[in-house]
A and B are shown apart, each in its own frame.
Chain A
Amino acid sequence: MTLMQIAFLIVSAVTILAAWGVVVGRNILRNALALIVAFLGVAALYVLLEATFLAAVQVLIYVGAIAVLIIFAIMLTERFMKQERATNEQWWVVLVASALLAAILIFLVGAVEWQVTSAEIGGQPIADLGRALLTTYVLPFEVASLLLLMALVGAIIIAREQEEA
């Protein structure tokens, strides 16, 4: 077992434990803090995959923006930080179904013969990624910016205080 594999095992164990902490437990604020650890673990997985730009984006957007947004929402609805029952009545059906899904997926992943290439990443990865985004994928890039603009306007309109008509 190489050093990389040991690092991978540690990182994925931390990530999965943090993800477990996100979905289990009644204190929603603790769930949100565990979510930050899970996001950081995914960023570490990106580093292991040599996707350095995505690792930085993961930390900036997920840890820096989405996690903070979620904690803001928790603070604004603070009566629900602790509930007597955190799950609905069919939680055990969902538990069985998701455990089954995980088992099937892991079995399939192990059963398939993946056509892995041993090629290295060539050239300058970040510069090439930027060039690909602005040439080959420029249309989805523009659609994504439009989507973000609409989400921005929509979030403001939905969340603002309604004036009495």
Chain B
Amino acid sequence: MIPLSWYLAVAAVLFSLGLYGALARRNAIAILMGIELMLNAVNINLVAFWRYITPQQFIGQVFAIFVITVAAAEAAIGLALIIAIYRHRQTIDIEEIDLMKW
């Protein structure tokens, strides 16, 4: 059997890569992709804990399904915002979208 800690380690690496992508990139779509990676890493954790700690109850899987739902909503709204900003300002570079920065 694969140890639980292996899954958690992979999820930790995925989360950190997603964090780097979300905080270091300039393209707004790349930031969204980093956030999606982070959400996937969290889901791996939830499913791994379900399988190794409470395989008789489905709490972990149910939570993962809700995370996927929220991720889908977040992707739809985020990309709609990016399209709207692109239409107004002809850019999706977050360093140029500084209207609300004082």
Contacts and interface: CB of A to CB of B under 8 A. Distances in A.
Q: Which of under 10, 10 to 19, 20 to 34, or 35 or more describes the interface residues of B?
A: 35 or more
What's the dominant secondary structure at chain B's contact region?
Answer: helix
Nearest to A20: B17
A159 to B, nearest CB: 4
A49 B48 contact: yes
Interface in B14-58: 14-21, 23-27, 29-30, 32-34, 36-37, 40, 43-44, 47-48, 50-58
Interface in A1-40: 2, 4-5, 8, 12, 15-16, 19-20, 22-23, 28, 31-32, 35, 38-39
Interface residues of A, number: 87
B70 interface: yes
B33 A70 contact: yes
B12 to A, nearest CB: 4
Interface in A104-139: 105-106, 109-110, 114-122, 125, 128-129, 132-133, 137
A5 B78 CA distance: 37
Contacts of B61: 51, 53-54, 129
Interface centre among B20, B25, B62, B95 (most CB of A within 10 A): B20
Nearest to B21: A23
Contacts of A132: 57-58, 62
Contacts of A158: 77, 80-81, 83-84
A94 B24 contact: yes
A133 B99 CA distance: 43
15 contacts: A16-B13, A23-B20, A45-B7, A51-B47, A54-B43, A91-B24, A98-B19, A109-B5, A109-B8, A109-B9, A114-B52, A117-B53, A129-B62, A132-B58, A158-B83
Interface of B: 1-2, 4-10, 12-21, 23-27, 29-30, 32-34, 36-37, 40, 43-44, 47-48, 50-58, 61-62, 64-66, 68-77, 79-84, 86-87, 90-95
Given A19-B13, A87-B24, A148-B73, 19 more contacts: A15-B14, A23-B17, A23-B33, A32-B33, A48-B2, A51-B50, A51-B51, A53-B61, A66-B72, A70-B32, A70-B75, A97-B19, A132-B57, A132-B62, A147-B73, A151-B76, A156-B80, A158-B77, A159-B80
